[in-house]
Amino acid sequence: MSIQSFVDYLSLEKNYAAHSIAAYRKDLEDFQYYISVDFSDDNLAEINYAQIRSWIIRLVDSGLSNRSINRKTSSLNSYYKFLIKTGDITHSPLAKHKALKVQKKVHIPFSEQEIETVLSTAATHDFEAMRNKLIVELFYSTGIRRSELINLKLNGVDFEQNQIKVLGKRNKERFIPLLSTVENTLKSYIEMRKTLPQIKSPDFLFLTQKGAQIYAALVYRIINKYFSEVSSKVKKSPHILRHSFATHLLNHGADLNAVKELLGHSSLAATQVYTHNNISELKKVYAKAHPRQTKL
């Protein structure tokens, strides 16, 4: 079974995003190249675990992080599960493989004051300034992913229902409520959007000055620029704003299941990563409220 058949399966049946499919393809093609050079064999269906392990060792020796290596072996594992499903093999060579240990990343959210400073001082005098402020507001008020923001559609904004439609992973739709302050910025931005000399991507909400759909690197630069002026945190990215959204909601007593739905997570386990920052707040409440603590 060819790699292309697997790629078609991810695209047509699993509805994976284009960038995810490209990553799977590259991982598999890299492995196929390795075994063709080192073992004179390019048939992935006939590979054994010893050959895969030698590839993993090669990746470790090259200095690749354990996290990246795990992602590559995960791609390979998914491919073998696909081959079992199609009947091409009966047993995956990775069946007993254990992922390499990785150090958990700790994402430090922006403080509420840092975000408030950015939003209260952001300029809105022209199209780009208004667009950039709206991007910050939407990230923080909705918790959407960068890819979701880039692909927001103009007709997905519903001012009557005070909500916005978001297309998440695997084309799963969800609706997120809009704060009144965000609605005001949205309305101003949409009016300014109409004044662009040309609009090449009319369906998309966020456009460049030239009227084309915005792109990932631009969104990252916008967030990094704003928060570099107010925060000394090492990482200043759209994901940190998503992280801040979830953390601040939990700090103010939001239900974990509600935050899960807003974030578009398929399981609570994915949402619980945001609760570690809430521990400090819980400790404060505990210290003030526990009857034994008040007697000490």
Print the SS3 string covering 255-271. Answer: CHHHHHHHHCCCCHHHH
Interval 156-181 mean pLDDT: 90
Q: Where are the alpha helices (DSSP H) in 39-179?
A: 49-61, 66-86, 112-121, 127-142, 146-150
Interval 144-170 mean pLDDT: 92
**How sure is the predictor about 155, in pLDDT bands with cuts at 50, 70 and 90?**
very high
Could you say which of 145, 236, 248, 260 is catalytic? 145
Active site residue 242: yes
Active site residue 189: no
Active site residue 274: yes
Interval 136-159 mean pLDDT: 94
- For the chain, how many residues are written? 296
Q: For position 291, what pLDDT does the model report?
A: 56
Angle at the Cα of 10 from the Cα atoms of 6 and 12, rounded to 5 degrees: 110
In percent, the amount of the chain with pLDDT more than 70 equals 89
* DSSP code for 62: T
8 Å CB contact between 286 and 293: yes
What are the structural domain ranges in the chain?
A: 3-86, 112-284
Could you say which of 97, 169, 174, 233 is catalytic? 169
Q: Which residue has the tokens 């692909």?
A: 151
Angle at the Cα of 215 from the Cα atoms of 214 and 217, rounded to 5 degrees: 130
**Burial class, 20, CB count within 10 angstroms (exposed 0-12 / middle 13-18 / buried 19+):** middle
8 Å CB contact between 272 and 256: yes
Q: For position 284, what pLDDT does the model report?
A: 56
**How sure is the predictor about 79, in pLDDT bands with cuts at 50, 70 and 90?**
very high
Q: For position 241, what pLDDT does the model report?
A: 92
Interval 161-169 mean pLDDT: 90
Active site residue 67: no
In percent, the amount of the chain with pLDDT more than 90 equals 60
Q: For position 296, what pLDDT does the model report?
A: 46
Active site residue 221: no
Q: Domain 112-284, what architecture?
A: Orthogonal Bundle (1.10)
Residue 149 Ramachandran class (φ > 0 left, ψ -120 to 50 alpha, else beta): alpha
Could you say which of 236, 242, 243, 248 is catalytic? 242
pLDDT digits (tens, 9 = 90+) for 170-213: 788 899 999 999 999 999 999 999 999 999 999 999 999 999 99
* Most distant CA atoms of the chain, gap in Å: 75
Backbone angles phi, psi at 204, to 5 degrees: -90, 145
Q: For position 280, what pLDDT does the model report?
A: 54
State the average pLDDT for the chain.
Answer: 87
Q: For position 236, what pLDDT does the model report?
A: 87
Active site residue 169: yes
Q: CA 78 to CA 68: how far, in whole Å?
A: 15
